[in-house]
Structure 1
């Protein structure tokens, strides 16, 4: 497949992986008033992505094995388009919730399968380019999504704010229709007989896969805690509202930079263990700064946390860097991301409960530092230059030998 079509396919899907979700936040109050629901009922929309990502993460790989990677991604894109295009016309809570869930489930399909599609269809010199586009544009999608709230100003603007993101979703479906016509359905190859037993081994039997699960989970939990609670934490500790808002912008900007840099770093550096450790230590240093004296240098702490956020594109790049076959890449992605997003949703919830119960950030920041220590240990394992395919093959061989005895 041509480089132009590969780039268009990855770009079209990546720009839709966050914008349709984050665009809801700035107009959530308007949506709540229109739907005539309580704040807690509207709050379900904020929890929906994490749980939908988890559930669909477990369902997506079986779907791709049945119908193929490209048709499964086209299906996900169609779900995104249907949800984003239809929900602005609704005035009832449950249909709106179901269509939002449909769009989020389509996004989850892309989260899991796009790295495997790149592994399957990109030649060696294309993979770095496509992974860089993927990791960068995800961050860009998260950054530009809320901007649609600034483009429309009338009192019922939420319909336009949300509906405008159906346009890139429509482009996504058109591009992936072309991809499917070019490729067909059989683009997730079944394992060869030599590796079939390895491909069926549980990901829990691979130490590197488990380490990547822990690493992805804890870095995601830290990021979503920052997005949800950093402004409140800073303001409670003497930082002005405007500065706390700038801190969030810094986090988003650093996420885009990390998306550009990390795939190249992972591809070019043989031993990335020092890098993975350094990134985690930067996050922990940011937490320490907030714990020590938040108001002393709030934007410095935000920069440190943003640099630590390079762990997200690092984790995405490792999905393909630590696997050989597209099937194992898809299985690894479907193993790491569902559990990771469950943890990412649970930790900010726990932070909210502790904040309500204690009213102090000292205990919470200490907890986040403890989680950072666990992430540090996981980073040393998942950064090792090994392939998960090999670990699964060794596990399968050992199992066969045991059965023979």
Structure 2
């Protein structure tokens, strides 16, 4: 297969894969009330469904390098699309909350594996265009995060909540078609992956590397705050006296900012010797946004939301650094698994800790103290995480 056509085909594959790694999560939460009117959703169900994404993304981070040790990245990507399609499609037609959760686990495992497998594919097929392709990857990932919550309710008004969920299953089914073609044609990578290294010595080396731990911590604490804001920002605003419609708009805004910056940060990170100034600036924005939301929410809620959105935009930057700081495709697979595996497990604790502190203390300062402390730690590790040179 000619290299130009192979590159086009892989780009299309990366686009459809990246876009489908989030809609099954962000397209669900606006529909929970409609679901609850038809299917009894207990408090346990709501707690579990909110914790599953980061938890399963974290688990996937540790199992994906081992899968890479046995199968090609192309084959794994096809399996990911099948898992997402099956999980999202079947859960939309069941009536049992338990089965809904089980099918969600299938889809989320697919999404988690997809999170890890895309960076080494970028490294394998575009070793000289890492920043550009990272921009495509991160941008479509953020787009797949931003669009679903905006259209979920309008879709449900036309097709009911089941139809709204099925839209994202259909989107993932397009990914199956694309990746079937890729797997059949098997375009040759420009950088060969030594699969025997991915699940073994490379991962063990990273465990002993301070910079790998720093990048994992920076990524994890970013996602820690992401999931807190995605879960709690509307509630915090309504408790401060704003109406639910405004709070929903602010949630859309806080997700839109990383989407926009996700198209800029990869190229900027490649041109800078170290990305730590970006992380430091974003940490300051995140801290200022939290302080404003805590102390004077009624003064400038849009400003606080914008600052929070800028602050959590270190996530697309972290995904780019995984690819930029890897020595090879196999190193990228191992680093992607290590960073995202540990990072998402760390992130899974965020909404739980914040919810416990908000609901069990009369004052809000313990909850805000935790998020501000997480920013301080991220600030400290960013110097090592962003240092130039391969990890």
Which TM-score bucket, shorter chain as reference? Answer: over 0.9
The residue that corresponds to 1:393 in the other structure is none
Distance 1:61 1:258, change over 3 A: same
Asked if structure 2 preserves the Cα contact closer than 8 Å seen for 1:189 and 1:327, the reply is yes
CA distance in 1, matches of 2:283, 2:343: 17
Query: Which of the residues 115, 119, 122 maps onto 1:118?
Result: 122
Q: Spell out the pairing of 1:248-397 with structure 2 (5 A cutoff).
A: 248-388=251-391
Q: Give the one of 140, 143, 147 matched to 1:144.
A: 147
So what's the TM-score if we normalise by structure 1? 0.89
Q: 1:176 aligns with which of 176, 179, 182?
A: 179
Offset of 1:115 from its aligned partner?
A: 0.7
CA deviations 1:278-302 (Å, max 9, x no partner) are: 1111111212222331211111111
Shift in CA distance, 357/59, structure 1 to aligned 2, threshold 3 Å: same
Matched, 1:77 2:75: no
- Tell me the secondary structure at the aligned position of residue 153 of structure 1: helix
Structure 2 unaligned residues grouped into runs of 5+: none
Deviations 1:327-379 (A, max 9, x none): 11111111111221122121211111111111322221122111110000011
Q: Relative to 1, partners in 2 of residues 1:363 and 1:37: Cα closer, same or farther, differing over 3 Å?
A: closer
Q: Is contact 1:69-1:185 (8 Å) kept?
A: no
| Cα distance in 1 between the residues matched to 2:64 and 2:201 | 20
**Separation in 1, partners of 2:200, 2:44:** 48
Offset from partner CA, 1:140-190 (integer Å, 9 cap, x none):
111111213212316x81110111112211111111112112227998622
Distance 1:349 1:18 in 2: 21
Equivalence for 1:229:
232
Find the structure with the greater CA-based Rg. Answer: 1
**Which whole-Å CA distance do the structure 2 matches of 1:38 and 1:274 have between them?**
45
1:391 alignment counterpart? none
For structure 1, which runs of at least 5 residues remain unmatched after alignment? 389-405
In the other structure, the counterpart of 2:49 is 45
Greater shift after overlay, 250-259 or 196-205? 196-205
Instruction: Verify: 1:64 aligned to 2:45, yes or no.
Output: no
After TM superposition, give the deviation of residue 25 of structure 1 in Å.
1.1
- Matched with 1:36 is 40
Residues 93-144 of structure 1 deviation map (CA, whole Å, 9 limit, x = unaligned): 332222111111111111011011111111413x323211111111111111
TM-score under structure 2 normalisation?
A: 0.92
Instruction: Give, in angstroms, the shift of residue 15 of structure 1.
Output: 1.0
1:68/1:188 contact within 8 Å kept: no
Give me the CA root mean square deviation: 2.3
The answer to whether the 8 Å contact 1:67/1:185 transfers is: no
Output the CA distance in 2 between the equivalents of 1:141 and 1:332: 24
Given that 2:293 and 2:304 are in contact with CA atoms closer than 8 Å, whether structure 1 keeps it comes out as: yes
In 2, the alpha carbon distance for the partners of 1:89 and 1:80 equals 15
State the shift of 1:90 in Å: 1.5
Q: How many pairs does the alignment contain?
A: 385
Q: Specify whether residues 281 and 222 from structure 1 end up closer, same or farther in structure 2 by C-alpha distance, changes over 3 A only.
A: same
User: Cα distance, 1:86 vs. partner?
Assistant: 1.9
CA 1:280–1:39: 2 relative to 1, 3 Å: same
Q: Which residue of 2 aligns with 1:158?
A: 161
Residue number in structure 1 paired with 2:30:
26
Equivalence for 1:397 = none
Select which of 93, 103, 110 maps to 2:107. Answer: 103
